[in-house]
Amino acid sequence: MLRINRVIELKGAEHIWEVMLQRDAIFIDLLQYVPLLVGILMAIVQFVPEMQRKSLKLTLHLPYPELKMVMTMLFSGLVLLVLCFASNFLLMGIYMSGVFAPELISHVLLTGLTWYLAGIAGYLLVAWICLEPAWKRRVLNLVITVLLLRVFFLSPTPEAYVKFLPWLAVYTLLTASFSWLSILRFKAGKQD
């Protein structure tokens, strides 16, 4: 946003519009991997201490259904992540509304939406890795995670995923079930 402001001061808003229309620039490409990194860090901060201190074992012995417990843990992390992403998304939209036409704003935000979904998927997949009790399986889960997250970054073209966004959202939500597989393995005693 600071880059956009600087160019507007130097060359005017017309120049920004021209660059966006002729070169298909979106000016937020520097943010491409930020939501993914935030999602990964959120999962690590939430679940690594849980596994290191072995407090997950105690959590799963509480008189509460294990599936609900795990989904509540994931849901709390997702709520924080979605709040963070939504506020960032909203701030970008508000800032751009003073500079760009609505069509250009939707062009930029729809491109960025894929990256925010990647951040949510990254959170869910890294949570799956962290909750896995066996190291060999964690390595396998890491390889699967890298391959699944690659889907979000296949095309650098702006709005390349617009028609695929609903399916990508479903795909992202389905990754929440992977953590339950690791919990089942944990409950079965599959540990190093």
Q: Tell me, what amino acid is at 82?
A: V
Summarize the confidence of residues 39-57 as an average pLDDT. 88
What pLDDT score does 192 carry?
Answer: 62
Q: Which residue has the higher pLDDT, 175 or 3?
A: 175
What pLDDT score does 127 carry?
Answer: 94
Mean pLDDT, the chain, whole residue set = 87
Residue with tokens 């609903």: 166
Half-sphere exposure of 170 (CA within 13 A, CB side): 3
Q: Which residue has the higher pLDDT, 50 or 172?
A: 172
Q: What is the Cα–Cα distance from 29 to 16, expressed in whole angstroms?
A: 15
What pLDDT score does 149 carry?
Answer: 95
Q: The tokens of 6 are what?
A: 């600087």
Express each pLDDT in 143-183 by its tens digit: 999 999 999 998 888 888 889 899 999 999 999 899 888 88
Using pLDDT thresholds of 50, 70 and 90, give the confidence band for residue 6. confident
Dihedral angle, C-alpha 132, 152, 172, 160, nearest 10 °: -170
Express each pLDDT in 72-101 by its tens digit: 999 999 999 999 999 998 998 998 888 788
What pLDDT score does 23 carry?
Answer: 75
Q: Can you give the residue ranges of every domain in the chain?
A: 32-187
Express each pLDDT in 14-38 by its tens digit: 777 777 777 777 777 888 999 999 9
Summarize the confidence of residues 136-140 as an average pLDDT. 93
What pLDDT score does 169 carry?
Answer: 93
**Helical (H) or strand (E) element with 182:** helix 176-187
The pTM for the full model equals 0.88
What pLDDT score does 51 carry?
Answer: 83
**Helical (H) or strand (E) element with 115:** helix 102-131
Angle at 94 between CA 91 and CA 109, to 5 degrees: 75
State yes or no: pLDDT of 3 exceeds 80: no
